[in-house]
Amino acid sequence: MLIIPAIDLRSQRVVRLTQGDFTRETFYSSDPVEVAKKWESKGAKLLHMVDLDGALAGESKNLEVIEAVHESVKIPIQLGGGLRTDEAVERVLSKGVANAIIGTRAYADEDFVKRLVDRYRERIIVGIDAAGETVVSEGWTAATGIKAVGLAKKMESLGISTIVYTNVLRDGTLERPQFDLASEMLDAVNMNVIISGGISSIEDIKDLKALNKKNLYGIITGKALYEGRLDLEEAIKIAKE
């Protein structure tokens, strides 16, 4: 199980949003490269990056910064935010990003998912962003009415091997994950699941690990790291035990 630091980009800065609300932004750094190097130095084996501007615009907006981060660290990067065309996915993967996270278009276009899986295999991850049991899209601004668990099963049937499952109502709140929903998702599929949203302390890491689900591939944490509530090295140690 990996502990995966989040680096969310808005106007080339590192920020965190509360519940995906762009009016509730907390600024942490104007130097994403230094932030990435810090998390790598503390033992991170993977970075989770989100182009928040891209998520709103529907196309990547922070590629120069993302490329600079890639060139500054040795660990892989998974990237989401605005990847809604074949060309956009090809562009970020060609920049050295290890995994492209698709969301909004994946929900409505199975052929899009199939094409990407056929070409890039496990390099394609689907991000399932849910408010409660249902999926939201367009940078978390639009309700879809789609059940998160049902979508995950569909993506698995299309060949997706990993999902990032984000509880948007808990994201950036430090209110702890909703363990019942996380457990339900882990039970519903056999593919790798990365859990995101609400991580507040080392106890949350322990409690998610205690679910004892073999397909819990990783846990994304952002605000808890940036505000000193979670020690990355300690969390990684617990995840390895």
User: What are the residue boundaries of the structural domains of the chain, listed by start?
Assistant: 2-231
Structure-model confidence comparison of residues 230 and 144, the more confident one:
230
Report the distance separating Cα 50 and Cα 79, nearest Å. Answer: 6
User: Which of 241, 20, 15, 14 is CA-nearest to residue 129?
Assistant: 20
- Contact indicator for 24, 17 with CB cutoff of 8 Å: yes
Q: Which of 48-52, 63-67, 141-145 has the lowest mean pLDDT?
A: 141-145
Q: What is the pLDDT of residues 87-118, one digit of tens each?
A: 999 999 998 999 999 998 998 899 999 999 99
- Contact indicator for 101, 164 with CB cutoff of 8 Å: yes
> What are phi and psi for residue 143, nearest 5 degrees?
-80, 145
- Percent of the chain predicted with pLDDT > 90: 85
Q: What is the pLDDT of residue 46?
A: 98
Catalytic residues: 8, 129
Per DSSP bridges, beta strands 99-102 and 124-131 are parallel
- Contact indicator for 1, 219 with CB cutoff of 8 Å: yes
- pTM as predicted: 0.95
**Could you tell me which residues come within 8 angstroms of residue 231 by beta carbon, excluding any fewer than 6 positions away?**
202
Q: What is the pLDDT of residues 183-208, one digit of tens each?
A: 999 999 999 999 999 999 999 999 99
First to last CA, the chain: 10
- Contact indicator for 209, 174 with CB cutoff of 8 Å: no
Fold of 2-231: TIM Barrel (3.20.20)
